[in-house]
Amino acid sequence: MQDGRELSYGELNRRANRLGHYLRELGVGQNARVAICLERGFEMIVGLLAVLKAGGACVRWTRRIRRSGLNYMLADSAPVALLTQESLAGRFNEISPAVPLLDLENASPWSREPATNLERIGTGVTPEHLAYVIYTSGAAGRPTGVMIEHGGLRNLAAAQIKGFAVEPDSRVLQFAPLSSDACVFEGVMALCQGASLYLLPQDEAPAGEALTERLKRDKITHAVLPPAVLASLPKEADLSAVHTLVVAGDIVSRDLASCWAHGRRLISVYGPTEGDCMRNHCMSATRRVGGAADWATDSEHASVHLGRAWGAGAGRRCGRVVHRRGRDSAGVPEPAGANGGALLTDRFVGDVAARMYRTGDLGRWQPDGTIEFVGRNDSQVKIRGFRVELGEIEARLAEHAGLRNAVVMAREDTAGDKHLVAYYTCRESSEWGAGGMGAEELRTHLAASLPST
């Protein structure tokens, strides 16, 4: 559903099947990457399903990505095809002629393809094959691609449907941008249970009064929101239809959670994108908020505990809290109450039973078996749900010929309002050496290579 327009499951399946058969003819198969850059809409969902049906893997981008970053990811992911639409096609003028560019708003090239399902026996896809690639902010100054298997999607769908009580009559909000793993998070929650997926209009402000009205008008039952967006909603708003509210993308304070937990299921989820490689997918740990222990704290701005391991299948765990004192002791677990590198902190490491990912988060075990977040051991921050490597921004600033040095940090002068600030000095030999350089000059410089948050 989007702006009063409906797309039935039957029609969605037929469109995705026709496109999927066409992609197979183009050579899409196991582990083959297909780039997708589309506005939020029905075509976006059709494209995602078609690639998976064909046995390929989606590489998802939004229009927010700057051209330099886009060119890098095109070269890095080496897609065999690119799905887009006419209004965005001009961004791909430099793409190789060998990579077919398909306009999903014009389905005539594949309109005569069969509408029958592509059977898994024909594509040969297994849980170990690649489902999609997602790019995260990189500490080295360039995006880092994370490869996710089909097994992760399977586990995610099963765990969410059960843990979030998704039913066929549920109404799930599609809030996250296409480039976010939360976009898949929302999609499989609805589509794998036959529920309704409500897509926000592409240009609608996804916060405050506008989002509140959208939640009320569409009678949304399930929404996944970052803490900063949740904080923008009027506390007096009547959102009684929203009986399951999932807070993701950042640590949620207890005072914010307490405003929205009463009368509904409020679940705080945690999980780095790289953890998806271990088939936990978007979430490594969850906590349902609302018990008395959640509100007993010396500070109203203290964060809700990260929770317990999340995922389908026996033996699923979110990892270890280990010593943070040097590499040699990095695999030694910490006892309850002691600080350590939380959940798996160069980045993938071996373990007795499985491969683990070092997140860089610091945490400590609590007596009830949950994990408390106590900070970071690096320069990574979260801004409105987006993961930002300060080192990436500093690397881009260092490319400006007029700068001698620069430092970037996240400031939160007002609770809940986190923003980035850069401090810099100019080269005396540059044209800005005497009078200094204005902020707009640097914003323009960064806009050429970095997305806005």
pLDDT tens digits, residue range 377-402?
667 777 766 778 888 888 889 999 88
pLDDT at position 352: 42
Residue finishing a domain among 289, 314, 339: 314
Q: Quick check: is 140 in a domain?
A: no
End-to-end CA distance of the chain: 27
Regarding whether 407 and 372 lie in a shared domain, the answer is no
**pTM score, whole prediction:** 0.77
Regarding whether 243 and 168 lie in a shared domain, the answer is yes
Neighbour count for residue 364 (Cβ, 10 Å): 18
Q: Which domain holds residue 274?
A: 148-314
Q: Quick check: is 134 in a domain?
A: no
Q: Quick check: is 44 in a domain?
A: yes
Q: Pull the structure tokens for residue 188.
A: 């499989």
Regarding whether 413 and 349 lie in a shared domain, the answer is no
Regarding whether 108 and 78 lie in a shared domain, the answer is yes
Q: Quick check: is 205 in a domain?
A: yes
Does 14 have pLDDT greater than 70? yes
CATH (domain of 440): 3.30.300.30
pLDDT at position 76: 92
pLDDT, tens only, 29-78: 999 999 999 999 999 999 999 999 999 999 998 877 777 778 888 899 99
Regarding whether 348 and 263 lie in a shared domain, the answer is no
Residue with tokens 């496109």: 19
Regarding whether 193 and 44 lie in a shared domain, the answer is no
Which strands form 285-289's sheet, in the order they lie side by side?
A: 196-199, 171-174, 222-225, 244-247, 265-270, 285-289, 308-309
Taking phi first (over 0 means left), then psi (-120 to 50 degrees means alpha), and beta for anything else, what does residue 82 get? beta
Spatial separation of the C-alpha atoms in residues 206 and 262, rounded to whole Å: 23
Q: Quick check: is 142 in a domain?
A: no
CATH (domain of 15): 3.40.50.980
Residue finishing a domain among 346, 378, 410: 378
pLDDT at position 326: 46
Q: Look at the chain and report how many structural domains it folds into.
A: 4
pLDDT, tens only, 261-279: 988 999 888 766 655 544 4
Spatial separation of the C-alpha atoms in residues 421 and 284, rounded to whole Å: 30
Regarding whether 399 and 263 lie in a shared domain, the answer is no
Regarding whether 63 and 196 lie in a shared domain, the answer is no
Spatial separation of the C-alpha atoms in residues 52 and 133, rounded to whole Å: 12
Regarding whether 182 and 251 lie in a shared domain, the answer is yes
Amino acid at 319: G
Q: Quick check: is 121 in a domain?
A: yes
Beta strands 361-365 and 340-342, pairing class: antiparallel
